[in-house]
Chain A
């Protein structure tokens, strides 16, 4: 599968075209959901300490990775980061871009990881909240600090100290992104805040929001004056009620996970909640599309590398992580994928790679912007289930 669609740099979208996988998951709901019909089903929690496979990295120099589509520079290119890793570390990497959607990937591996069975992958890449959930389910192996020195040395400050894995024991951000607003300047006047998205009359019916609950609710909470990093159930209720009202007023055209910038470019939509990496690509093609840092601030998120239980090449996986935290490698990668580079020093290294990108705020945002970003509070499973369901009810009419 080609990671490049179209002529530009980077990929079309990190969230792939569509959630076909969701359909498959629905089809498989009966077979896949739970194991023992008409008996209780045990929890899926595991202890990573006991669910370990022997590491065969020293004898078998291979590595199996699952990542999102279009999330790496061309693997065939000799000077590319991928070839250079294989050559310098003498490790053969089997790289698949089969992560399309966090929830869908969860459904895919749930039965195996929940029963301490191998998923035949050494490294997987998932967004913060899903990484947090998998870590708390005990499905993820801790990383050996000694083997990933670059991670600990070079990770940018705003991504450190996340509530769900404060000391980077389990995860290493692959790329980061900002959630903000994009609008089509040819169709509508400047949109400055999320509040306007939800309430401005001239945007009515021509706004899309992202379909991932945390992306959108973080902003709705902000608009309501709550802190998405730490909110109470009452604040949640207020926020979801506010959204319900906005939806029933017909302000929102739809909740989307993909393809939303095509609607923006085509004029079907005049403003939308958007991910930074997607917007870069779109502005190259259509200068009318503008990226906005909303008055409420930006949400900062990462897609994180994780080593699942029973991975057999953990040392190789750690070598990979450490390699991508070298600033030159990180710069090369960032120059291609256009997301926010999580590696300190990459900005300096970028001068040699592509000087035009050094000052691009969507790859290297200034400290001020990053310092004001927010994240979504980790939810326990009960909250998560309840909130997701309420979210589904509001967005699903």
Chain B
């Protein structure tokens, strides 16, 4: 008896091994290297080499220089996440409860955009929102947009692109949560005098919270770090932190600054996720 327990324990550790090694190799080591890079002396270059001077000043410098795109990224990410949640919830709800035998087909349609490249999908939004495109023309016709207003190269286009590109990441966990809800619970709430609106807010919504939490995380985290949407759909005043890191790294070859910004971005997201998960109280829901 004791022997088998011990063996089981050992098997458990063995099972952790491949994933653990993978993480060590492709997360822990790069992250360590990233932190190291962020602390190199800012005077370094590929010609002179990089001196490790524990230059924490790099962090101060990048916050001073790039707090605007940083805030903007959080704002765009949060806005896109909000729209994803509203649109995604309605969609996931319809698929989970109302789609009947079309359920599988609808789910396939939700992930269908993944069959084409992220870039192509984003580029197609350029056509959609073009200044002479039908969307802008229509909005101008009904006077929602003025004659000289545009959609492309505005914050709206960036947020719309983010919303569109990350919507499936919201829909799938929401669907998984909603689909798991025992429909009899909703019937029971109706039996207990909850009208459909109350039943939704008192039963369906709280039971779908695990999906809401994972969906918002899966949307918010990559959306904040995204740079493709801002690059393609934005203008000079909509650049996000991902664009800044990219240009610092590839164009300016300022590795310490790029590294410091990346670390700040990671820590910031990590902190927000921890606070969020704590407040949402997901542990209790599961």
Contact = CB atoms under 8 A, between A and B. Distances in A.
Interface of A: 17-20, 22-23, 25-26, 28-31, 33-34, 37-45, 101, 103-104, 106-107, 110, 114, 136-137, 205, 213, 247, 252-255, 259, 262-263, 266-268, 380-382, 384-385, 388-389, 391-393, 395-397
B130 interface: yes
Most buried by A among B30, B40, B150: B30
A388 B243 CA distance: 14
Interface in B105-145: 119, 123, 126-127, 130-132
Contact of B30 (A30, A42, A43): A30
B99 interface: no
A388 B252 contact: yes
B46 A213 contact: no
B48 interface: yes
B210 interface: no
B130 A266 contact: yes
Contacts of A137: 46-47
B258 A381 contact: no
Contact of B50 (A22, A40, A267): A40
A380 B47 CA distance: 9
A4 to B, nearest CB: 18
B244 A254 contact: no
Given A34-B33, A37-B32, A137-B46, A389 B254 contact: yes
Interface string B240-266: 001111111111111101110010000
Contacts of A389: 248, 252, 254, 257
Q: Tell me which of B36, B37, B235, B250 has the highest count of chain A C-beta atoms within 10 A of its own C-beta.
A: B250
B40 A396 contact: no
A201 B55 CA distance: 45
Contact of B251 (A103, A205, A247): A103
Most buried by B among A29, A267, A393: A29
B211 interface: no
Interface of B: 29-37, 39-40, 43-52, 65, 68-69, 72, 119, 123, 126-127, 130-132, 150, 152-153, 227-228, 231-232, 234-239, 242-255, 257-259, 262
Q: Looking at A28, A114, A388, A392, which has the most chain B CB atoms within 10 Å of its CB? A: A392
Contacts of A262: 126
Given A30-B34, A137-B46, A254-B236, A392 B252 contact: yes
Closest 10 CB pairs of A and B: A30-B34, A30-B30, A388-B252, A43-B49, A37-B36, A103-B250, A41-B50, A381-B45, A44-B46, A392-B247
Nearest to B53: A40
Contacts of B69: 396-397
A33 B47 contact: no
Nearest to A42: B49
A23 B240 CA distance: 13
A17 B32 contact: no
A259 B123 contact: yes
B251 A34 contact: no
Contacts of B258: 26, 29
Contacts of B39: 38
A397 B250 contact: no
A127 B12 CA distance: 55
B135 to A, nearest CB: 13
A381 B228 CA distance: 28
Contacts of A104: 250
A381 B237 contact: no
Nearest to B228: A23
Contacts of A17: 119, 123
A107 B132 CA distance: 38
A247 to B, nearest CB: 5
Contact of B236 (A44, A103, A247, A384): A247
B36 A34 contact: yes
B232 A18 contact: yes
17 contacts: A18-B232, A20-B119, A26-B249, A29-B255, A30-B33, A38-B39, A45-B46, A45-B47, A114-B46, A253-B236, A266-B127, A266-B131, A268-B150, A381-B45, A381-B46, A396-B69, A397-B239
| Max chain A C-beta neighbours (<10 A), residue from B29, B130, B253, B255 | B253
A22 to B, nearest CB: 5
Given A40-B52, A267-B130, A392 B29 contact: no
Given A25-B246, A26-B249, A396 B36 contact: no
A213 B251 contact: yes
Given A267-B130, A392-B252, A37 B33 contact: yes
